Homo-oligomer: A and B are copies of this chain.
Amino acid sequence: MCRWLVYSGTPVLLSDVLYRPVPSLIDQSLRSRMGVETTNGDGFGIGWYTDDIDTPAIVRDTGPAWNNRNLREISDHVRSPLFFAHIRASTGTAVQQTNCHPFRHGRWMWMHNGLIAGFDRLRRDLLLTVDPELFPHIEGTTDSETMFYLALTFGLDEDPPGAVARMAGLVERLGHQIGVEFPVQMTIAASNGERVWVFRYSSRRESRTLFYSTCVESLRALHPDVAWLHRLSADTRIVVSEPLGDLQGAWNELPESSYGVIPAQDGEMLAAFDVHGLTGPGIG
């Protein structure tokens, strides 16, 4: 499996979030405590939005994050208000740049932790469902990228939670057809550069862990003496596969079968996520 991180808020150096906390995501690439695999050394990726450029930058490489100098250099010199980071433990597919997260299409970034059970047998049918206009943009061979292009096919642009639910619903339906009892295991982050949607879901209802940071105001009240908290805007949030650092009260588990929106829409950050019976428009 993998570990991932989303940052959204006051522009910061990437390294302030990726390297400075103890433990950090980069530490987790070598020694994760909560992951199914303790080592996430099969490639990594970062993606960041800038204020004045339409599409995010994506930098990915196939070696471990912990010894990658270019990742450190970029992180120490690039600021962003919204970025993704991902460290990969392959579930079998090739270790190559096009299989590293995040994936990008236009303004969208996407990353995933988990797997589609039985993907080898499902892949062909899932690819067939991808919009033929989108199909040529698929470059790798992962379940994660296939899920992204299915979500794009199912309307990610207009209705992110609905599109992701239809994607997961399709995977479940096709999986069940070939006898896979629990086809979907996923935490997912998707962003269009303005908002981020994070999802936690699995067919078995035992999803990979996912945590979001406590709102900055509450954290300041808890830790009035932590200086850097005062430099963050009120809407700054981090979402991670497992907690960073050791600031008490900083992390909250995203509930099973739910999703979050950052910044919150209509004041609500969290909502239930249900894929029941959703399998995409015109799909069976």
Copies in the complex: 4
Q: Does A53 contact B (CB under 8 A)?
A: yes
A132's contact among B78, B97, B124, by CB below 8 Å, is which? B124
Name the distance in Å between A254's Cβ and chain B's nearest Cβ: 28
Chain A 101-140 near chain B by CB (<8 Å), digits 1 or 0? 0000000000000000000110110011000100110011
Instruction: Please determine whether A94 and B139 come into contact, CB atoms closer than 8 angstroms.
Output: yes
Please give the residue numbers on chain A whose beta carbons come within 8 Å of chain B beta carbons, in ascending order. Answer: 30-31, 38-39, 41-42, 48, 50, 53, 56-64, 66-67, 69-70, 73-74, 76-78, 90, 94-98, 120-121, 123-124, 127-128, 132, 135-136, 139-141
Contacts of A63 in B (CB 8 A): 62-64, 95
C-alpha spacing A56/B120, complex, angstroms: 24
Instruction: Please determine whether B67 and A70 come into contact, CB atoms closer than 8 angstroms.
Output: no
Contacts of A94 in B (CB 8 A): 69, 96-98, 139
Cβ-closest 4 pairs across A and B: A57-B77, A96-B96, A41-B41, A120-B136
